[in-house]
């Protein structure tokens, strides 16, 4: 399940909203007794009666400053409250005058303290002095605050430290070692058989750098996958030919070179082929022949692409290119899900008399999953002659394998030329195995279970087996003899994800290279065979990301040592990286909290300086605009320490005289994180700086990077403890002097929309507003692999599925509820919101707002939809809450 998508740039004039619209509804809140099947009473404390400002004297305080000086418009307070007895320009009675002066002094003092506080991130201040200009939605969407970020495409075939750039319609190779740039290919040289230029979007270089494989006519399928017509271009002769005759629409889903030699593996119409040489006269080997719309070879179906591999391929060359492993997925028995496309064009005014359905084989909890099996095509044996593809292709099996209808193939990885590792888990993701296949040069179809996963294995608790692709082979140059070894990310006994060495590869005992109450994130970044180092990223502390190295200690020399930081740990910050193939260079991406930058680092050469982006102009731009005061802290909820991020208006009156609305932003899905120090200037900054709201983010139970102890409680009961954490946090903020407890709301997208709806359902009497975009409403309507990983199967956990869904709607009478969903959402189906609307209708709940975004998928981006979502929510907030802080009269 994805988080809230990024914002799309749509150049539309910003709208002006009514400044003084507020919600006048006075609601009586009660907590309905829980259904018997639920855990004990929802949140246990009864109705909440928070402190409040006087209803009769509440007015809206709009701090609409056009100048940088806070002192210059201090008389705003007097003008903003007509009828309260404060007349500007007239002499006041002495006692009142002294009272006014004293209060004004306190306000100025608090403002001064606030401005002084705006210097350090963790002390509740911004990390740059606030400017004067207000942020508009136009700024958010037109790129005003977007940092320039460039990817670095390393070219391993050209050697270590070589990357490609696109310049003047040419692909050029930049060699950092020699500081030279050479032209690899001109796009205009790639022509089809009729002499027309082939316009391509992706390319891959052969191992010998003599050929380039290009992808043209790209047609998007799902999140990661697409189809295209593939061509091979000879860089010396400049001749080009298609690997199969081009078609429109194209039918080739994936193609890739072998790691050595000149073979190409590709999947067309769901069958696997191998082209043994890049020659127009070469005949492709058809490895499989049964491929159809429900039978996949070498590429994932929807569920494996979305929830397992998170990629477009399911085939794996052995390091020496002698064998090709691939996944076969049979989704014949998987039920279809259909949704209509009302308008396939980009013109909203187009009228289509008839809709066209999109059909997906989409497995839901408790229903049929695709049946997965792993096969190996022995390329070398076939090419030796005398064998058919069927004779040289075999299926892998192992003792103790789960029944095929209760099996998920979670990972496949070669760790040596003849050694393959497979991870299998059951549908409930509480039991699994790591299986080793070692051919030793021969044909082997039976593997050996070398590791156990789950509650009776490495995890050793009642949680789930995480889904990630993390196996990393140890280079041969570091090994002795013919043995193989690999690294993996494994939970320690304390429940934190760390790097473990398995040497030899058939070992079942992890030797941890890292340890501690922090977690390795993002897998292994690189292994430097020359220096004997492993590079990795870690959440240390949990809201940050830093880069580290640790030695690989093999054999008897094994000894765990403290990692060496490669980024500055003294300042709260976040980094990501991309290593060159030989690990001699790496692109270091500084991601925040300040303006991002990128530079290339050469290992062991401090004099090397290659800045990719510095975003200097963005620094200048940001100095002109208001900046939120950002504070990071932790709170305690039922004994669990939770990370919190609070964003306040930069010139906020925090004396307690002025009461501000608070909007909680939540995602909250398992292993997710929203409280981090990454750079951000988005819709939330608009809410804080322009609408003068406070935005708070709390990562509750179930979220990531703080160990399994925090994650595991949500197992089999999604949405219950996470909701309690959000309500507990709201209780804390409701008691703060500067918060208006009658204007506390929550919003989220996807899982966050589910969370916002669960908070409304809980009816705890704290939140007066909830906004849910593309929410899951019932987990019976989401996909099987994701849901069963955290909830088990419905037949084994019927009460949990009821408790984890929105199943009662009385609480929605007591909040201002906004619901939005794209009708073409292939991930969280529109059926969720349709179900929600049906329940509200039957219960007679009418005071809510709903918006369907026609044909939009989960990102809601069709025909201007993305910006409209945020415009719509901003308008709703101002209608219900008004704009700015509220304060009593004198």
Instruction: Say if CB 810 and CB 763 are below 8 A apart.
Output: yes
Taking the alpha carbons at both ends of the chain, their separation in whole angstroms is: 50
How many Cα atoms occupy the beta-carbon half-sphere of 500 within 13 Å? 21
What's the chain's length in residues? Answer: 890
Strand 226-234 and strand 240-242: the pairing is antiparallel
CA–CA separation, 191 and 233 (whole Å): 9
Q: What tokens appear for 756 in the block?
A: 């916002």
Long-range CB pairs of 121-127 (<8 Å, 24+ gap) are: 121/572, 121/593, 121/630, 121/632, 121/677, 122/572, 122/631, 122/632, 123/631, 124/629, 124/630, 124/631, 124/646, 125/629, 125/630, 125/631, 126/627, 126/628, 126/629, 126/630, 126/650, 127/593, 127/594, 127/630
Q: Which segments of 219-372 does DSSP mark as H helices, in order?
A: 302-304
Rounded CA separation 604/26 (Å): 66
Distance CA 375, CA 154 (A): 31
Which member of 783, 825, 826, 855 is catalytic?
Answer: 825
277 is catalytic: no
Alpha helices in 28-143 (DSSP H): 76-79, 94-116, 137-141
Least Cα distance to 278 among 257, 247, 260 occurs for 257
Pairing label, strands 397-398, 446-454? parallel
Backbone torsions φ then ψ of 751, nearest 5 degrees: -60, -35
Q: At what angle do helices 720-734 and 751-762 cross, to 10 degrees?
A: 70
d(C-alpha 718, C-alpha 790), whole Å = 7
Catalytic residue chosen out of the listed positions 139, 375, 821, 858: 858
835 noted as active-site residue: no
> Measured between alpha carbons, how far is 392 from 285 in angstroms, rounded to an integer?
12
What φ, ψ does residue 733 adopt, rounded to 5°?
-70, -30
Annotate 772-829 with DSSP letters as a single string.
EES----GGGS-HHHHHHHH--GGG-HHHHHHTS----GGGGGSEEEEEEETT-SSS-
Q: Identify the three-state secondary structure at position 86.
A: coil
Alpha-carbon torsion angle 286, 292, 295, 297, nearest 10: 30
Whether 477 is a known active-site residue: answer: no
- Catalytic pick from 206, 750, 778, 856? 750
Query: How far apart are alpha carbons 690 and 684 in whole angstroms?
Result: 10
Q: Which of 498, 429, 505 is nearest to 462 (CA)?
A: 429
Q: What are phi and psi of 812, to 5 degrees?
A: -75, -10
Q: Which of 663, 664, 738, 532 is nearest to 113 (CA)?
A: 738
**What is the rounded CA–CA span in Å between residue 309 and residue 468?**
8
Catalytic residues: 750, 825, 858
């Amino acid at each position: 399940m994805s988080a809230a998508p990024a914002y799309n740039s749509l150049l539309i004039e910003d709208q002006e909203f009514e400044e003084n619209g507020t919600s006048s509804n006075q609601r009586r809140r009660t907590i309905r007794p829980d259904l018997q099947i639920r855990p004990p009473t929802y949140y246990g404390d009864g109705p909440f009666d928070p402190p409040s400002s006087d209803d009769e004297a509440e007015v809206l305080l709009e701090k609409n400053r056009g100048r940088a000086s806070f002192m210059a418009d201090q008389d705003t307070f007097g003008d903003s409250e007509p009828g309260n007895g404060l007349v500007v320009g007239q002499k006041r009675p002495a006692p009142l005058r002294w009272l006014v002066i004293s209060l004004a002094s306190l306000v100025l003092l608090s403002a001064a303290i606030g401005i002084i506080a705006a210097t350090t991130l963790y002390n509740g201040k911004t990390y740059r002095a606030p400017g004067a200009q207000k942020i508009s939605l136009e700024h958010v969407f037109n790129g005003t605050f977007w940092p320039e970020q460039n990817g670095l495409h390393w070219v391993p075939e050209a050697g270590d430290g070589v990357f490609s750039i696109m310049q003047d319609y040419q692909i050029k190779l930049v060699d950092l070692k020699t500081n030279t740039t050479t032209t690899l290919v001109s796009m205009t040289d790639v022509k089809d058989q009729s002499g027309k230029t082939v316009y391509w979007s992706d390319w891959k270089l052969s191992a010998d750098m003599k050929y380039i494989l290009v992808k043209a006519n790209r047609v998007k399928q799902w999140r990661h996958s697409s189809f295209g017509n593939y061509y091979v271009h000879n860089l010396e002769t400049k001749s080009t030919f298609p690997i199969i005759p081009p078609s429109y629409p194209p039918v080739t889903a994936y193609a890739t070179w072998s790691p050595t030699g000149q073979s190409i593996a590709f999947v067309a119409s769901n069958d696997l082929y191998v082209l043994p040489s890049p020659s127009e006269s070469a005949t492709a080997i058809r490895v499989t022949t049964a491929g159809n719309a429900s039978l996949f070879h070498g590429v994932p179906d929807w569920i494996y692409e979305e929830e397992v591999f998170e990629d477009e391929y399911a085939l794996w060359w052995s390091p020496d290119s002698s064998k090709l492993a691939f996944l076969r997925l049979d989704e014949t028995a998987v039920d279809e899900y259909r949704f209509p496309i009302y308008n396939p064009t980009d013109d909203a005014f187009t009228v289509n008399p008839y809709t066209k359905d999109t059909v997906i084989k989409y497995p839901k909890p408790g229903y049929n999953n695709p049946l997965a099996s792993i096969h190996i095509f022995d390329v070398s044996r076939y090419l030796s002659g005398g064998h058919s593809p069927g004779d040289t292709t075999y299926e892998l099996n192992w003792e103790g394998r789960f029944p095929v209808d209760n099996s998920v193939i979670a990972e496949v990885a070669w760790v040596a030329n003849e050694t393959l590792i497979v991870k299998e888990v059951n549908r409930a993701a509480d039991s699994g195995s790591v299986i080793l296949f070692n051919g030793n040069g021969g044909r082997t179809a039976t593997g050996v279970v070398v590791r156990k996963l789950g509650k009776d294995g490495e995890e050793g608790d009642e949680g789930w087996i995480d889904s990630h692709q993390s196996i990393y082979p140890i280079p041969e140059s570091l090994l002795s003899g013919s043995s193989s070894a690999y690294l993996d990310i494994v939970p320690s006994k304390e429940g934190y994800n760390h790097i473990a060495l398995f040497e030899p590869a058939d070992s079942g005992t992890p030797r941890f290279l890292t340890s501690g109450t922090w977690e390795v994130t993002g897998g292994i970044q690189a292994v430097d065979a020359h220096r004997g180092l492993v590079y990795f990223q870690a959440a240390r502390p949990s809201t940050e990301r830093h880069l580290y190295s640790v030695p690989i200690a093999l054999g008897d020399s094994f000894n765990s040592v403290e990692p060496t930081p490669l980024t500055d740990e003294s300042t709260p910050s976040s980094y990501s990286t991309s290593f060159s193939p030989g690990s001699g260079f790496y692109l270091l991406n500084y991601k925040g909290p300040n303006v991002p930058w990128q530079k290339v680092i050469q290992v062991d050469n401090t004099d090397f300086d290659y800045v990719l982006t510095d975003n200097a102009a963005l620094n200048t731009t940001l100095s002109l605009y208001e900046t939120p005061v950002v504070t990071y802290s932790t709170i305690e909820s039922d004994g669990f320490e939770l990370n919190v991020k609070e964003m306040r208006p930069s010139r906020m009156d925090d004396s307690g005289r002025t009461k501000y609305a608070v909007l909680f932003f939540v995602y909250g899905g398992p292993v997710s994180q929203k409280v981090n120090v990454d750079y951000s200037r988005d819709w939330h900054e608009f809410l804080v700086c322009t609408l003068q709201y406070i935005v708070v983010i709390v990562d509750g139970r179930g979220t990531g990077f703080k160990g399994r102890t925090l994650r595991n409680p949500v197992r089999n009961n999604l949405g219950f403890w996470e909701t309690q954490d959000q309500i507990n946090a709201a209780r804390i903020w409701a008691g703060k002097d500067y918060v208006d407890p009658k204007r506390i709301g929550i919003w989220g997208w996807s899982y966050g929309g589910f969370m916002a709806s669960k908070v409304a359902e809980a009816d705890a009497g704290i939140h007066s507003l909830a906004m849910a975009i593309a929410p899951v409403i019932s987990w019976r309507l989401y996909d099987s692999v994701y849901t069963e990983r955290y909830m088990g199967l419905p037949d084994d956990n019927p009460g949990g599925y009821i408790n984890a869904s929105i199943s009662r709607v009385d609480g929605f009478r007591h909040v201002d509820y906004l619901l939005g969903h794209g009708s073409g959402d292939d991930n969280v189906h529109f059926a969720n919101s349709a179900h929600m609307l049906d329940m509200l209708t039957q219960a007679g709940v009418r005071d809510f707002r709903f918006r369907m975004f026609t044909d939009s998928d989960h990102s809601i981006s069709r025909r201007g939809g993305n910006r409209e979502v945020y415009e719509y929510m901003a308008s709703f907030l101002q209608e219900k809450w008004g704009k700015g802080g509220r304060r009593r009269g004198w």
